[in-house]
A = this chain, B = another copy of it.
Amino acid sequence: MSQRAAQSQRALMGVRDLIVSGEIRAGSRLSELALVERLGISRTPLRAALAQLGQEGLVEAIPSGGYAVRSFSREEVIDAIELRGTLEGLALRLGAERGVPPARMSELQRLLDGLDEALRGDVEDMDFDRYVDLNASFHEKLWGLASQTIRREIERVTSLPFASPSAFLDKQAGVVEFRRSLYGAQTQHRAMVEAIALREGGRAEALAREHARLARQNLEFVLDQDRSLIRRVPALSLVVG
């Protein structure tokens, strides 16, 4: 017991990785024995991890026993994105209405400046990797603007890989169509922070919702325009149809 439930954590990350990376196909049954061997742990922490992944929605319980990797339809992915937009909107609205301490506002400003820098130049020579990191940090800061309660709920929803703000910003993939969307995204980032500073809750909420629609646009581009991208975007490994 060096760290709290170290084996369970290892199991959780291990299985999640096997699923998201696509090494285990969507829909296929998860054999506990096979996973135990592969991850080098015992069944107890593995089962804890599977139960947790069941809560996250990545796997589903089979009525006759055990778990299977879930697969997600286009509609389910859209709804997960819609959920994120709605909850981020809630966080921003409450932040605007209740007020955000100056220290946090300047942290957001600093992140905004960093994002601008990363976008300097055109689509080809932007600092994409830096943008990805800063974008993730920026969104995580937004999640905490209202309260721990709401942050917690957003983190739960975005534990599904395709619901994360970074879903279509995989460093490996680096699709040019996705890159193009970043300029508009950053404009929205700035508007969101401004709305919070001006205590414009309604505007902040609307912006957060619209911002999430960018993810939906990227999703629909992949599914309707260039399905070969499904394999190159890890977050979509579980999406069928």
Residues of A within 8 A of B (CB): 1, 4, 44, 47-48, 51-52, 55, 57, 61, 63-65, 75-76, 79-80, 82-83, 86-87, 90, 94, 146-150, 152-153, 156-157
CB distance from A61 to the nearest CB of B (A): 7
Q: A51-B48, A57-B152, A65-B1 are in contact. Are A90 and B86 (CB under 8 A)?
A: yes
Once the chains bind, are A65 and B4 in contact (CB under 8 Å)? yes
Residues of B within 8 A of A147 (CB): 75-76, 79
Residues of B within 8 A of A148 (CB): 76
Residues of B within 8 A of A47 (CB): 48
CB distance from A173 to the nearest CB of B (A): 25
CB distance from A210 to the nearest CB of B (A): 15
Chain A, interface SS category: helix
CB distance from A64 to the nearest CB of B (A): 8
Give the CA-CA distance A4 to B63 in the complex, in Å.
7
15 contacts between A and B (CB under 8 A): A4-B61, A4-B63, A4-B65, A44-B44, A55-B55, A57-B152, A76-B148, A76-B149, A79-B147, A79-B150, A82-B90, A83-B153, A86-B87, A86-B90, A156-B156
CB distance from A149 to the nearest CB of B (A): 4
Of A63, A64, A83, most B-chain CB atoms within 10 Å: A83
CB distance from A191 to the nearest CB of B (A): 21
Residue in B closest to A148 when the chains form the complex, CB atoms: B76
CB distance from A161 to the nearest CB of B (A): 15
Residues of B within 8 A of A150 (CB): 79, 82-83
Q: Which 6 A-B pairs have the closest CB atoms?
A: A79-B149, A55-B55, A86-B90, A79-B147, A76-B149, A79-B150
Give the CA-CA distance A82 to B75 in the complex, in Å.
26
CB distance from A62 to the nearest CB of B (A): 9
Residue in B52, B79, B90 whose CB lies within 8 Å of A83: B90
Residues of B within 8 A of A86 (CB): 86-87, 90
